[in-house]
Structure 1
Amino acid sequence: MKNNIYYIGEAHLVSEAEISNIENLVRYSLPEDYKEFISNYGYGNLNELLLFEIPDEDFIKNNFTEYLDLWEWDETLQQRALHSVMIAKTIDGDIILALNDENSPYLLLPRHSEYPKSFVGFWEIINWYKNEYHLKELYFDSYYQSDWRFFHIEGEFSDLKLEKIAILYKKFKKNYAIDVIFGEENYQPKCVLQNIGGWIYFNLDTGEIRMKFQKLFTSKANEIIGFLEQYAIMK
């Protein structure tokens, strides 16, 4: 648990040398609170909503040079964005930039609004998304050595399919020591197992199952895959 954010998996933290390499490319210093964040968390996602990836200094130039009129902003802010670094994005298509601006170093370019939003501090961004999406608990899922498996429950009728996944979910909870469960109140439990560096997600409304683990825990993950394959089909 870091800053009230639950951490899933083994971290691969970003070194000072890696940060310096990024700053040398963009020729300005990244915000201190952002550097502190990736130094402590590495790259990964927050609640499968905010995606923190390797900073990309060419993202805006390569993708939006001809489309800057998508947003209502002045020429000064446009130029700062063109020479900025993309530090995060969201599953909904928002883009978060680190600007060369000490007074307002962060800029959110929203997918579904014409108006960019500025932030002074990095944690303001996280708190804004927490409130905007009504996130009760925050968790950070490391990208380090990530691997995935996908399963589905067979059944000619939806009621039968949902009955099968409900039974499987109960058996899974009985057979495995789960560290924490997120989303159970929404019938979409994500069962975190730190001994695989990941989780198993059950959608009790659709019969979908997703599994994420880290490759350094492949042996334990394969055991769970074998268990799931007794009841579900891997895609």
Structure 2
Amino acid sequence: MENIKGKVIAITGASSGIGEAIARHLASLGAMVSLGARRLEKLETIVNDIVKNGGRAICKQLDVTQAVDVRDFVSFTIDEFKTVDVFINNAGLMPLSMINAYKVDEWHKMIDVNIKGVLHGIAAALPVFEEKDRGQFINITSVGDRWVGPTSTVYSATKFAVRAISEGLRQEVSGNIRVTIVAPGATESELAETISDPELKKVALEQFRTHLLPAKAIAAAVAYAVSQPSDVDVNELVVRPTAQKSF
């Protein structure tokens, strides 16, 4: 995957799960990775591991709900690595609940992280891409970006929104800027831990334990999209466990 080597790739939500797997995998392929998330200590551990194994990595504490934080994250990456070639919007929350549970605060948190966080990433990195007329956004959504069921109403709505934003962005930017969504099915991550209802969390964890993709499978999908020649834009990748037949 020669098209990955030497690229500067910024990743949000990189302290665990899919974000961590993406960072480790791309670094192993020769990318320079910049990791952002709220949990700085976890980021530093990952960076130390990558560097110990011969890779190049940096990290910065990041709250994607704050536009200034995301702008500072991009500036930090440019200060250290001179540019940004790929920006991966990976940070996300999934506190599932029935609408009539009225968990309004959780709805707002999902909107702030899952939608506004992506928009903040676009607003921070797009000027860099436009200035050099090249770059790539990879937005990690979910199979929930095309399916909705009981308890996933608001979560799916946020992922539908990111899918729409990604398609609109793809059409609006120059022909040299690529936009990809990667939609994981059931995957090893901490998402279910954000569910506040104990019964729902139990059901979700039992379901997720049944057929789980390793996070590195999503990292491999991201690497595939990044590795394509500059005139090839992989718009959507849906990655499910083979046994996952619904949603």
Question: Larger C-alpha radius of gyration, 1 or 2?
Answer: 1
**Bigger helix fraction:** 2
TM-score, with structure 1 as normaliser: 0.25
**Bigger strand fraction:** 1
